[in-house]
């Protein structure tokens, strides 16, 4: 295809297959669903762009938007891409503290929110939030109704794919959110690589269960446009409600992150023997959080589909991805291989993963360039490359527990804990200890009706799995549900450290 911007891709796909289905707004009832074709996506996004242009949005205007996963949100974002505005998506579950930081730090000119959604007045809240800002942004409603005008008012589409036009925000679970700078080229590259890695074909039907405001939103959109396949969007993802539209439309590719895999698996286990949860599903795929190797085998057996897990981050939305045709050993025990063009370097000594390639961000908003002398981005993640070129992510620098001078990997212990039948999920953290420097604490979420665990029982399980004695947890905490983030449901370890940091060994 010609052209390199995101809007170029929208126009190319609309010209190629204008009547092909692009998006379905999923609902439990078929009567409540809405659809749009690729041609309709192009036409309506251009009219929305014209409506926004008449309201003052110009090439380079900074627009913060906090909108749910809906067709209208996709149209709004593509409309901004048509104008050439700089857009900064914010996940809907961010509250006033985080959203206020985004508005201040971006010096936003416009702020798009739903009007009234679920009985809550978002516009009134947005106006209160922006009232105290210097040069407060104009608030725009974008939910059921979008701005609309004749596209004749628009200037030509942007031609430069290397200008920063996207600011995405890291989760901010341990500190203030960081604004990650992306271009059309970096996001288009990530989406193209993802579609190739998942071996998408013309009969595939995707799904978006994650917030569209996450960096995976344009990643997935590019993938759909490149391959001309549709996806089911869910404004609210919950099981079992999501199963109805997935089954109705024959979704073949689903996922999100490790927590999503576990949710699907729990539903499958409740079915009678011989019944598949989603008969059309061929692949669960995702990333964003560690995947215990045992979970791979459970998904393949319990859901009757393949599981391909990858490694990515807001700064680089596609680094590695498991190949659905790879061996079970590689799919279970690694995070896949990088595509041609993505360079991975493991820092000597620390083992930190460093990245360089066309989908890597341009840096952070109002921060010094994070790259090393060779142009590689330090990720804060630890890992190694196998002889076959597969990446194995072993944890985070901040998740290395230093006990009596010995380095202990939290992820290693978590993967072994996951094998216990009375453990649904586990987070291992290091807590301050006056004698050891740090002590190992295991925080465990148990499945329903499981027997209560003791520290001795957990230690016995880990020793039986071959864990060295000096790595055993010295503190055990049981929670009904582990605290998770709003986007890919990552466990919020900083919250656990704050909660349990003052205690001693339990059990």
Residue 174 is predicted with a pLDDT of: 43
Residue 507 is predicted with a pLDDT of: 43
Residue 504 is predicted with a pLDDT of: 47
pTM across the whole model? 0.85
Domain(s) labelled CATH 3.40.50.980 in the chain stretch across 6-15+36-185
Q: Who contacts 434 (Cβ-Cβ below 8 Å, separation ≥6)?
A: none
Residue 323 is predicted with a pLDDT of: 96
Determine which helix (DSSP H) or strand (DSSP E) holds 237, and give its type and residue range. none
- 405-500: CATH number: 3.30.300.30
Domain(s) labelled CATH 3.30.300.30 in the chain stretch across 405-500
Residue 93 is predicted with a pLDDT of: 78
Residue 54 is predicted with a pLDDT of: 98
- The residues pairing with 87 across neighbouring beta strands, listed in sequence order, are 63, 166
* Helix axis angle, 216-227 to 6-16, nearest 10°: 30
To the nearest 10°, the Cα dihedral for 69, 291, 486, 169? Answer: -80
CA-to-CA distance for 77 and 73, rounded, in angstroms?
6
Name the token pair of 304: 């009757």
Distances (CA, A) of 460 to 417, 453, 470: 11, 11, 13
User: Mean pLDDT in runs of 10 for the chain (507 residues)?
Assistant: 85 98 95 97 98 98 97 98 97 82 94 85 87 92 96 97 96 68 97 96 94 93 97 94 96 89 91 94 89 90 96 95 96 96 95 97 95 96 95 84 78 89 91 83 91 92 86 93 77 87 55
- 6-15+36-185: CATH number: 3.40.50.980
Residue 121 is predicted with a pLDDT of: 80
Residue 405 is predicted with a pLDDT of: 67
Residue 506 is predicted with a pLDDT of: 47
Strand order in the sheet with 352-356: 343-346, 352-356, 377-385, 391-396
Cβ atoms 113, 102 nearer than 8 A: no
């Amino acid at each position: 295809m010609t052209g390199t911007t995101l809007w170029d891709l929208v126009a190319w796909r609309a010209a190629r297959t204008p009547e092909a289905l692009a998006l379905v707004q999923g609902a439990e009832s078929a009567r409540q669903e809405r659809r749009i074709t690729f041609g309709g996506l192009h036409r309506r996004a251009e009219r929305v762009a014209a409506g926004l242009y008449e309201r003052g949005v110009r090439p380079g205007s900074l627009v913060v938007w906090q909108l749910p996963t809906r067709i209208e949100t996709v149209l709004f974002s593509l409309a901004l891409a048509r104008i050439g505005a700089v857009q900064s998506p914010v996940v809907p579950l961010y509250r006033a503290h985080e959203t206020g930081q985004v508005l201040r730090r971006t010096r936003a000119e416009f702020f798009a929110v739903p009007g009234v959604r679920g009985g809550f007045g978002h516009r009134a809240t947005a106006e209160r939030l922006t009232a105290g800002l210097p040069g407060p942004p104009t608030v725009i409603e974008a939910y059921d109704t979008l701005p609309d005008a004749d596209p004749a008012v628009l200037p030509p589409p942007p031609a430069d794919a290397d200008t920063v036009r996207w600011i995405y925000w890291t989760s901010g679970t341990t500190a203030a959110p960081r604004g990650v700078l992306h271009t059309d080229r970096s996001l288009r590259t990530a989406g193209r690589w993802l579609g190739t890695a998942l071996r998408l074909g013309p009969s595939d039907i995707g799904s978006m269960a994650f917030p569209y405001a996450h960096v995976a939103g344009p990643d997935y959109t590019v993938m759909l446009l490149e391959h001309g396949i549709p996806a089911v969007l869910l404004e609210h993802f919950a099981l079992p409600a999501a199963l109805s539209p997935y089954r109705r439309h024959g979704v073949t590719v689903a996922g999100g992150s490790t927590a999503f895999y576990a949710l699907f698996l729990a539903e499958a286990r409740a079915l009678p023997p011989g019944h598949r949860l989603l008969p059309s599903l061929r692949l669960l795929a995702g990333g964003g959080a560690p995947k215990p190797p045992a979970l791979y085998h459970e998904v393949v057996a319990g859901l009757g589909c393949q599981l391909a897990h990858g490694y990515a981050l807001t700064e680089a939305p596609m680094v590695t991805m498991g190949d659905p045709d790879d061996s079970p050993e590689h799919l279970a025990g690694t995070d896949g291989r990088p595509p041609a063009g993505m360079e991975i370097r493991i820092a000597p000594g620390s083992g930190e993963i460093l990245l360089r390639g066309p989908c890597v961000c341009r840096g952070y908003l109002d921060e010094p360039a994070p790259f090393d002398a060779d142009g590689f981005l330090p990720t804060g993640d630890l890992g190694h490359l196998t002889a076959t070129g597969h990446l194995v992510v072993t944890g985070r620098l901040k998740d290395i527990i230093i006990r009596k001078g010995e380095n202990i990997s939290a992820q290693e212990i978590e993967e072994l804990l996951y094998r216990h039948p009375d453990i649904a999920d586990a987070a291992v953290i290091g807590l301050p200890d006056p004698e050891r420097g740090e002590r190992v604490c295991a925080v465990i979420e148990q499945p329903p009706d499981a027997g209560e665990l003791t520290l001795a029982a957990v230690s016995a399980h880990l020793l039986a799995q071959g864990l060295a004695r000096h790595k055993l947890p010295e503190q055990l905490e049981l929670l009904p549900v582990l605290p998770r983030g709003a986007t890919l449901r990552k466990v919020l370890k900083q919250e656990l450290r704050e909660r349990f940091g003052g205690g001693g060994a339990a059990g």
